[in-house]
Structure 1
Amino acid sequence: MISHIKAVLAGLILALLLTVGVSAQTEATQEIDLWNSVATRAEAAVADPNSTDTVLETLRSRITTFRSQFDSARGTNSDRISALRDQLDALGPAPEGKDAKPEAPEVAKTRAEINQQLDTLLAPVQMAERDYLRADGLIREIDKIIRDRQTAKLLSTTPSPLNPAHWAPALKALTKAFGAMWVDRGKDSATRTFAEFRDKLPIVIFSGLFGLLLLFRGRLWAAKIVGTLRQHQARGLGIWRFIISLLRILFPLAGLLLLSIAAGQSGYLGVRGKEVAQLLPVLGLVVFGFRWVSERVFARDDEEALLLLPDVQRKRARLLVNAITIVMIISIITDAVVDFDDPSAATRAVIGFPFTLLISLALY
C-alpha cells in the first residue's frame, strides 16, 4: 500500500515538473516570437522613409527592453562555462594531424564530454549575443534617423511671415479651419435622434449650469467657505490666505471641466469643436495657474508680495502676465483648430507670428 502511494506521488511530482518545463518552454518560445515580430517591424520602419518619429521612438523603446534582456542572457552560466574551459585547458591541446600521437582513451572521452557540455551551455548564450547585436544595431539605426531628421529640421529655413504672398493663403486657411468647427459636425451629429439628445440633456444642463456657477462664483464661494472656517480658528492667517488662493483656482477649474463635459455631450460640436472643448481644462489650468503665481509674486499687499517692487510696478506686472496668458490661450486654440488641415510651413509662420510679436512686446 505504501509503495503504491509512493508511486502515485512520484508520478504526480513528475507530471508537475513536466508541466512546469513545458510552460517555461512555451513562454520562452512566445518571447522569441514577439521579439522577432518587433524586430521585423522595426527593420521595415527603418527602411521606410515615411515612418514617423513617434513610430520609431515607440519601437526603440520596446527594442531597448529586449536588448536589456539579451544583455543579461549573455552572462548566463558564465561561471560554469569558465570552469569547463579551464578543464579543457588542463587536458592540453587535442592531437592534430595524421602523425600526432593519439591521446589516452580516458582523456579523449573526458574531452568529448566537456565539449558536449560546453556546446550545450554556449548555445543560448550565442543566441542571446546574436539577438543583442541585432537589437543594438536597430537602436543605433533609429537614433541616427531621428538625429538626422532633427538636424535637417534645425537647418531648414522657415518661410518669412512678413512675405505678403503668404498672407492670403494663411487667412483663408484660418477662416476655413474655424468655420469647420460648426459646419463639419459629421454624420453622427446630423442624424442623431431627439430621444438620444433627451437622454443626455440632464447631464448637459447639470454640467453646464454648475460649471458656469463654479466659473463665475467660485472665487467668491472660496472666500466665504474659508471665512466661515477661519471664524473657528483665528490663528494662522497666512495659511487661510493660501487656502483661499488655491480654492480660487480649483473651483473655476472644476467649472471649466464641467463645461467641457457639457459641450462634448451636447452633440453640436464637430471634431474640431470637441478638440477645443477637451482643451478647456488644460487652458483653465494655464490661466488660473499663471494668475495664481502672479498674485503670489506680485501681490497687492506689500506683506504678501515675494518681490519687493513698488505697487505701480506690481500692478503693471500682473496686467502683463494676464495679457500674456490670454495671448497664449488664443494661440493654443488656434493651433489646435488649424492643425486638423495640416497647414504648410508658411501658413504656420504667418498664423503664429502675431502671437509671438504680442508676447515679445509684453516681455520687452
Structure 2
Amino acid sequence: MAAALLVTVHNSNSFRASSEAYQNPKTKLSSSPSAGNAKSLSFPPRLGPLFWPWEKVKVGPLSVSPMGFGTWAWGNKLLWGYQEEMDGELQETFNLAVRKGINLFDTADSYGTGKLTGQSERLLGKFIREYQGPKKVRDDVVIATKFAAYPWRLTSGQFVKACKSSLERMELEQIGIGQLHWSTANYAPAQESALWDGLVAMYEKGLVRAVGVSNYGPKQLIKIYDYLKSRGVPLCSVQVQFSLLSIGEEQKELKSVCDSLGVQIIAYSPLGLGMLTGKYTSSNLPRGPRGLLFRQILPGLDPLLSTLKGIAVRRGKTMSQVAINWCICKGTIPIPGVKTVEQAEENLGSLGWRLRSDEIDELQYAATNSSTKMIQNIFQTR
C-alpha cells in the first residue's frame, strides 16, 4: 500500500498540478602521414562506454553527459522537504555540475507542490541565465522537460501550449528534449493520439530539438516510435525507472527494444529513491511517504546492499557511486536527483571508471536474490 502511495505521489502530483552513441574524447592524439612517411598515431579503440563527463553521449541530435541530474526535489515540499531558502545551494549545485561537465538536467512542468508547481523549471532557467562561466558552456546545457498528460490536455494544441508555458517559465527559446510524461493508453486511449500529435507539432514548430517519452513499456514504445517515424519525427529517448531495484523482465525487454531502435534510455531513480545509498536502515528511515515505502522494502535488500557495500569498499567508492555506475555500464544515462553540493560531488564520483563484468554480474545476482524489489511506476505501460 505504501509503495503504491509513493509512486502515486510522483504522478498524482502531475495529475494535480552502436558505438555511434558515444563521441571520442575531446583530445585525440593523431597525425596524418607527412612527407617523411610518418605513420598515423591514434589511441587504440576503447571497449565499452566512456565515462568522463566531457565524453558526451549522442541522444538524437544532442550531445549530453553520460550522467545527468534530476530536479524532482526542486520545489517539492511534500516528498523532498523543499524550502525557498534552499535556492542558493541549488544554484551552487547547478554551477558545480556544469563546471564539471554535466550538461543534462531533467525536469517536468508538474514538478513542485501546490503553488510551487513549475518551480523546478523556473529555477533551472534562472540558474542557466545567472551562470557565470563561459557562454559556450551555458549554451551547451540540455534541458529535458516532461509535459504531464493531464486529463484536460485533449488536443495537440493544448500540448503545444504546455510546451510554450514551460519555455516561458525557463525563459528559453527552445527545449532540448520535450517528453510526454506518461502514456494514457491504459485509461484514456483516445487522448493518447492527441498527445502524440502534440509532440509532432512542438517538434515541427522548433520548440524542442528532440522528442522523448517517459514511463513507456516496450510494446507501447514501439507503437509511438512507428507513429512518430511515419510523421518524420525521430524518437530519441525513453525515460523509465531503471536501477538495481528495477531490473525485471519488462525493463530487460524495454532495453532490448531500445537497442534495436536506437532509442536512448534515461534512467530515473537510479538509487531507488535513496534505498541504494546505504544511508538508511529499518531503524533509520527518511521522513514522509518515503519512510512508509522504505519500511516495506529495505528488510529484504540485505543481499544487494551487502554486495554494493563490498564492491564500494574494494573500489574506494560509495554505494551510490557503484549503483549509478552500474546503470551507466548497462548503457543508460542515469539522472540521480541532487539537492546539495555534497550530493552532486558524490554523484560525480560515479564517472571516470567502470565496474568489471564480474562485478556487474555479482550485483545483478544479489539483486535477483533479494526478496523485495522496487514497485514499478503505476503509470508505466506494457
TM-score (normalised: structure 1): 0.22
The answer to which structure has the higher helix fraction is 1
Point out the structure with max Rg over C-alpha. 1
Judging by fraction of residues, say which structure has more strand.
2
The one of the two structures with greater contact order (alpha-carbon pairs below 8 A, sep at least 6) is 2
